[in-house]
Chain A
């Protein structure tokens, strides 16, 4: 059944991404928004938009009944969950099916099988896919955690059983840290996923995070689209991703891809999914978990394979066969993605919500800006901090690194602090340029990460004094970012219409 009208049960840049794919295929789009998101870009871009509740996600983007009722009222025939929120919630997928809506994602059983990370580990064990040692059941009491952690051996990783996106995840170096880490991980897991269950894994030292993208249609075809390396993380949240990985060659790609497809097949998987692995210093890979959704970092795979993953998701959900096999998948060049978050990288990555008073994105050859923002847009404090994803493509990795540095230098965001200055230092770092990556990279370079090295001190002083001078001359109050008036009221001229 062809999809004619699709409701996007999400917000921000991913909702915009899905709207774009729909528009290219003649599918009408229905946006939903919380009270905090009336002026969000996805609302402005969709064909229709409906309010679904208050700003806290539990009252809006996580409210299954309201989303399903809105989809039915709008006459949608399908629902795309994006990532985060309800993307890996089997009950939501079931509720959509019960309402006669096509869920653009895997069957509820596959979400359940893989969504429970401990159950997923059992599947991987049965398939003899290599795994990091750890618990196959969620841990109960603090005492049990202590006992199991001792058996596994410190350092250990605490992970949310229903988790993803780094939330509810803690590295525990020694036993003394265990109780505090348990409390924090459970609290975060409960808030993010509505389930406080956590499990333990041995922490592999300085591993690389390498994941395989798979696509499975409803007719038994499963292909992999190669790997993404996502080793640059802070607080277990990815910041820079690339495809291919600097250390994965064709034979290793084939082996990891085969393992990923095997896991997907065993789970009865259909649609786009990602199998995450750790890669140790000797390039041994270990199954971590399967994410039963579109990943934030999917664009790097799109750039090197030429395959539009959202379009494929929609085709698969409509029952179409993939129409190609593994040997038809070709990789070309190198793609890198940087996450532009509203955070202050020089103050512990503290969230920096507020109004974007000035914005100039990056464009030019082989640069892609997947953004949910525009000039005058206010980044709400209620949701995650991702504002935009900047993706570049080039023939090879050195050229992609230079292109990313060029694009980051062009990208100007005024009014909220962003990760851009930190991204410039990360991508320009000699270890990054050399492809010497690990999940410990960022922790290691953080002490070197300074707001400035003084090169532009005079210029900055001139700019600051002139800004102050002009302001004093005009007799204005400083136009700060504490409580700026909405640009809607000032100008009602969102910058996105111009590009």
Chain B
């Protein structure tokens, strides 16, 4: 089975073979790794690689694997190779210059700092969301003009809700 693992924008083709009693052979580029892996049901994995014992946790977040190992956190998108080819050949997705601010967590809008038509600079506060007793400010990633404001103070929001669109 062939996969493409994308880490920091860099895709790597990984071929997985074996798997009997947790013994896998992985080919990453021209490197071959023999791994004895036990994947716990709670997302904690034990990996024995050439005698070295590693414990990693793997969690799916919005389709991306978040891996914690050795005190480090990696976000890795893993796709079957065919799916990766289909996705990347298109190339149109994400080409626009619009910035869309979506709610990253559930909470309540306590303040909306911009109105449609406002010019914003990178770092300008756009909205404030109160969650878990803290006010969390969300700022513009780049300069632009506010095209849409889809929320108002007092409104409850859920993760993924579009709050503000900047062009």
B147 to chain A, nearest CB (A): 24
By a CB distance below 8 angstroms, the chain B residues around A353 are 105-106, 132
Contact between A424 and B134, CB atoms less than 8 A apart: no
B134 partner residues in chain A, CB cutoff 8 A: 167, 188, 235, 351
Q: Contacting A384 at CB < 8 Å: which of B3, B69, B104, B132?
A: B132
Of the listed stretches A252-260, A361-369, A462-470, name the one at the interface; the rest are far from the partner chain: A462-470
One of A191, A381, A456, A479 near B74 (C-beta < 8 A) = A456
A167 and B5 alpha carbons, distance in the complex (Å)? 42
| Bound-state Cα–Cα, A383 to B134, Å | 10
Asked if A466 and B67 sit within 8 Å, CB to CB, the answer is: no
- Using C-beta atoms within 8 Å of the partner chain, give the interface range for chain A: 35 or more
Binds A, one of B42-50, B85-93, B94-102: B42-50
Contact A464 B5 (CB under 8 A): yes
Q: Is the CB of A457 within 8 A of B65?
A: no
The answer to whether A412 and B55 have CB atoms under 8 Å apart is: yes
Task: Please give me the residue from chain A that is nearest to B159 by CB atom.
Answer: A482
A350 touches B72 (CB 8 A): no
- State whether A481 touches B73 (Cβ < 8 A): no
Give Cα A191–Cα B108 distance, bound, in whole angstroms.
12
Tally the A-B contacts, defined by beta carbons under 8 Å: 182
Query: Within 8 Å of chain B (Cβ to Cβ): is A179?
Result: no
CB-based contact B132/A382 at 8 Å:
yes
CB of A458 within 8 A of CB of B133, answer no
Confirm or deny: B155 has a beta carbon within 8 angstroms of a beta carbon on chain A. no
Q: Mark A473-492, 1 if CB is under 8 A from B, else 0.
A: 10000111110000000000
- Interface on chain A toward B: helix, strand, loop, or mixed SS? mixed
Given contacts A453-B72, A456-B69, A460-B76, contact A482 B43 (CB under 8 A): no
B residues in contact with A482, CB < 8 Å: 61-62, 159
User: Which B residues between 29 and 77 are near A, CB-CB below 8 angstroms?
Assistant: 31, 33, 35, 37, 39-40, 42-45, 47, 49, 54-63, 65-76
Q: Is the CB of A469 within 8 A of B16?
A: yes
- Known: A456-B70, A468-B3, A481-B59. Contact between A463 and B132, CB under 8 A? no
> How long is the Cα–Cα vector from A385 to B132 in the complex, in angstroms?
7
> Known contacts being A191-B130, A457-B7, is A464 close to B54, with CB within 8 Å?
no
With both chains docked as a complex, state the minimum distance between the C-beta of A20 and any C-beta of chain B, in angstroms.
25
Task: Return the CB mask of B1-16 against A: 1 if under 8 Å, else 0.
Answer: 1010101000010101
Which of A351, A420, A458, A472 has the most chain B CB atoms inside 10 A of its CB? A351
Q: Is A383 a contact of B67 with CB atoms below 8 Å?
A: no
- B42's contact among A347, A375, A451, A460, by CB below 8 Å, is which? A375
Is B84 positioned at the interface, with any CB of A under 8 Å from its CB? Answer: no
Q: Is B136 an interface residue (CB 8 A)?
A: yes
A409 within 8 A of B: yes
For B43, the chain A residues whose CB sits under 8 A away are: 357-358, 414-415, 479
Q: Could you tell me if B133 and A459 are in contact, using CB atoms closer than 8 angstroms?
A: no
Within 8 A of A (CB), among B121-139: 128, 130-136
A346 vs B72: C-alpha distance when bound (angstroms) = 11
> With A464-B5, A479-B60 known to touch, is A381 a contact of B106 (CB < 8 Å)?
yes
Whether a CB of chain B sits under 8 angstroms from the CB of A204 is no
A467 touches B45 (CB 8 A): yes
A463→B72 contact, CB < 8 A: no
Across the interface, A455 reaches (CB within 8 A) one of B35, B66, B72, B131, namely B72
Q: Cβ of B45 and Cβ of A466 under 8 Å apart?
A: yes
Q: Is A140 an interface residue (CB 8 A)?
A: no
Chain A nearest CB, measured from B127 CB (Å): 13
Assess whether B57 is in contact with A358, with CB atoms less than 8 Å apart: yes
Q: Which single member of B35, B55, B128, B135 contacts A462 (CB below 8 Å)?
A: B35
Query: Cβ of B59 and Cβ of A465 under 8 Å apart?
Result: no
Nearest-neighbour CB distance to chain B for A495, whole angstroms, equals 9
Interface residue B78 (Cβ < 8 Å from any Cβ of A): yes
Q: Kindly identify, within residues 415 to 449 of chain A, every residue whose CB is under 8 Å from any CB belonging to chain B.
A: 415, 417, 420-421, 424-425
Nearest B residue to A192 by beta-carbon distance? Answer: B133
How distant is A250 from chain B, measured CB to nearest CB, in Å? 36
Name the contact of B7 in the complex, choosing from A425, A460, A472 (C-beta under 8 A).
Answer: A460
Contact A481 B7 (CB under 8 A): no
Q: How near does chain A come to B26, taking the closest CB pair, in angstroms?
A: 6
Cα A458 to Cα B132 in complex, Å, equals 36
Task: Please tell me if A184 contacts chain B, counting CB pairs below 8 Å.
Answer: yes
Residues of B within 8 A of A458 (CB): 28, 31, 33
Q: Is A461 an interface residue (CB 8 A)?
A: yes
Q: Which 6 A-B pairs have the closest CB atoms?
A: A358-B42, A452-B72, A480-B60, A478-B60, A464-B65, A460-B74
21 contacts between A and B (CB under 8 A): A187-B110, A353-B132, A381-B131, A412-B55, A415-B43, A421-B71, A451-B72, A451-B73, A452-B72, A452-B73, A457-B74, A459-B54, A460-B56, A460-B74, A461-B76, A463-B56, A463-B69, A465-B5, A466-B35, A480-B62, A481-B59
- Which residues of B are in contact with A by a Cβ distance under 8 Å? 1, 3, 5, 7, 12, 14, 16, 19, 24, 26, 28, 31, 33, 35, 37, 39-40, 42-45, 47, 49, 54-63, 65-76, 78, 80, 104-107, 110-111, 128, 130-136, 159
Contacts A456-B54, A456-B69, A461-B5 aside, 13 further interface pairs with beta carbons under 8 A come to A184-B128, A351-B105, A358-B42, A381-B106, A381-B107, A384-B133, A414-B44, A451-B73, A459-B49, A461-B76, A464-B74, A467-B65, A478-B60
